Amino acid sequence: MTITRRRLLQVGLLTLPGVAFAKGKPAPKEALLYIVWPQDGAVIKGAFWCRFGLRNMGVTHAGDNFQNSGHHHLLIDVDEPLNPDEPIPQDKSHLHFGAGQTEARIELPPGKHTLQLVLGDADHFPFVPPVISKKITVRIK
């Protein structure tokens, strides 16, 4: 229940700007994207494996145009809102997992960092409504 509410809130925040122009594929309402590990607030020593969880949708390769499936993108320390009209950016804070990966080895400098998952469609656009995880904070020792 709390998960649903949180997601709705995020969806609301995300879709506010320019919902009319969104180009992504439709996502089922009950899709749930979440970070299996680490947990919110975790204190981690060194590099770690980040595990991606997805329910009610499937993981596929980027470029594969199957309904209700997409691929993971991990956003590290990203504060600006996602633009639904553009492919999810590709840079050092927007990591792509277009080969269908469901986990990644992450190495971050010591300090506080945020992690958030976004599911992208075949062309890397966010889904409509966006399938996005709760943003978690971890501290690297």
Partner 1 sequence: MGLAMRGDIRDINSGKNAGTPDSGMPRRLAAIVAGDIAGYSRLMQLDEEGTHARVKRLERELIEPTIREHHGRLIKTTGDGFIAVFDSPVEAVRCSIVIQQNMIGRNTTQAKVQWIEYRIGVNLGDVIIETDDVFGEGVNVAARLEGLADPGEVFISGGIYEQIKHKIVCGYESLGDRKVKNITDPVRVYRVLPDPSAFKRRRTQKQGLAIVSLSLVVLVLAGGVLWYLTMQTRGPVARTASTSTPNAPRTDASRNGKSTVAKATDAKIRSAPVSEPAGQQQAKTPVAPIVPPATVAPAIAPAIVPQPVAPPLREPEMVPLPGGSFAMGSNEDASERPVHQVTVKRFAIGKYPASIREWNLCAAAKACGFTATGPDDAPVGNISWSDAKQFAAWLAETTGKPYRLPTEAEWEYAARGGTQTRFWWGDQLQPGAAHCKNCTQVANNEPPNKVGGFKPNPFGLYDMGGTVDQWVEDCFHRNYQGAPTDGTAWLEDGCTSHVLRSGSWRNDARYVRPSNRDGYDTNVRYPTHGFRIALTL
Should residue 100 be labelled a site residue for partner 1 when binding is judged by CB under 8 A? yes
Q: What span, in angstroms and rounded, lies between the C-alpha atoms of 110 and 27?
A: 36
Site membership for partner 1, residue 63 (CB under 8 A): yes
Q: Which amino acid, 22?
A: A
Tell me how crowded residue 139 is: count the other CB atoms within 10 A of its CB. 14
Shortest distance (Å) from residue 13 CB to partner 1 = 22
Alpha-carbon gap, residue 123 to 108, rounded angstroms: 28
Pair type for strands 32-37 and 48-55 = antiparallel
Single residue of 65, 110, 112, 137 touching partner 1 by CB under 8 A: 65
3-class secondary-structure state, position 55 = strand
**Contact between 118 and 75 (Cβ < 8 Å):** yes
Joined tokens for residue 92: 């050092």
Residue 26 CB, nearest approach to partner 1 (Å): 8
The smaller minimum CB distance to partner 1, of residues 116 and 120, is found at 120
Which one among 75, 122, 136, 138 touches partner 1, defined by CB under 8 A? Answer: 122
- How far is CA 85 from its chain centroid? 16
Per CB under 8 A, does 77 bind partner 1? no
Nearer to partner 1, 90 or 137 (CB): 90
Residues that bind partner 1 (CB under 8 A): 23, 28, 30, 36-37, 49, 51, 53-69, 85-87, 89-92, 96-100, 102-103, 107, 122-124
